[in-house]
Amino acid sequence: MRTPSSSRDTICETTVRCRGGKIAGTDTPCTCPAEANCVECFIQPDRPGQPLLVRVDQQPVDSEVQGALGPCFLLNGDVVMACASFCQISTDCGAFYAKASTRECCMQSRFSTDLGYLERPGGSYYSKRQCSACDNGYVIDSPYPPPPPVRGPDLNGQH
């Protein structure tokens, strides 16, 4: 994964649909979250086992904290993966903002990209990996929509 050179640069990550253990339209194997009966999810093949990157240096304007989630807190070590671990085990967390230079982790219960983004240089916004379709006879028990594809200008400022 490339690193942006300024807060105006954005990295576009390939986001694909994993269905029935294969990347849609291919024979390439993939794995959805460990929830039983999950048959479809979104993944970023270049970032295996990591949370879904939504934005670099920004977070959605429309995001909120509910339930047991509190204000931002500090973590040691790999801040992104540590924050992802806390988010994954929390039933209230659907996404988070992480900033390694300040060791900041801000978990959020929900977000929408419809209203745009706030500038938050130095950190990135991630979505919890989640199931988007279940086996017949099962439903998704989650208030979080599937994450949107990562969008933005490439490193040369092109869309």
Rg (CA), the chain: 16
Q: Where are the alpha helices (DSSP H) in the chain?
A: 79-89
Residue 151 has pLDDT above 50, yes or no: no
Query: What pLDDT digit, counting tens, does each position of 88-137 carry?
Result: 888 888 899 999 999 999 998 888 888 888 898 999 999 876 677 777 77
Task: Give domain status of residue 64, yes or no.
Answer: yes
What's CA 59's distance to the chain center, in Å?
11
> 125 lies in a domain?
yes
Residue 152 lies in a domain: no
pLDDT at 152: 38
Predicted TM-score (pTM) of the model is 0.69
Q: For residue 30, is it within any domain?
A: yes
In a domain, 10, yes or no: no
Print the domain residue range for 88: 16-134
Q: Is pLDDT above 80 for 150?
A: no
Is residue 110 assigned to a domain? yes
Residue 30: count other Cβ atoms within 10 Å of its Cβ.
18
**Could you give the number of structural domains in the chain?**
1
CATH number of the CATH domain containing 44: 3.50.4.10
pLDDT value at 8 more than 90: no
Going from the C-alpha of 98 to that of each of 14, 26, 55, 142, the distances in angstroms are 20, 33, 11, 22
Looking at the domain assignment, is residue 123 inside a domain?
Answer: yes
Question: Has residue 91 been placed in a domain?
Answer: yes
17-75: per-residue pLDDT in tens? 888 888 888 999 888 766 667 888 888 888 777 888 888 898 888 888 866 667 789 99
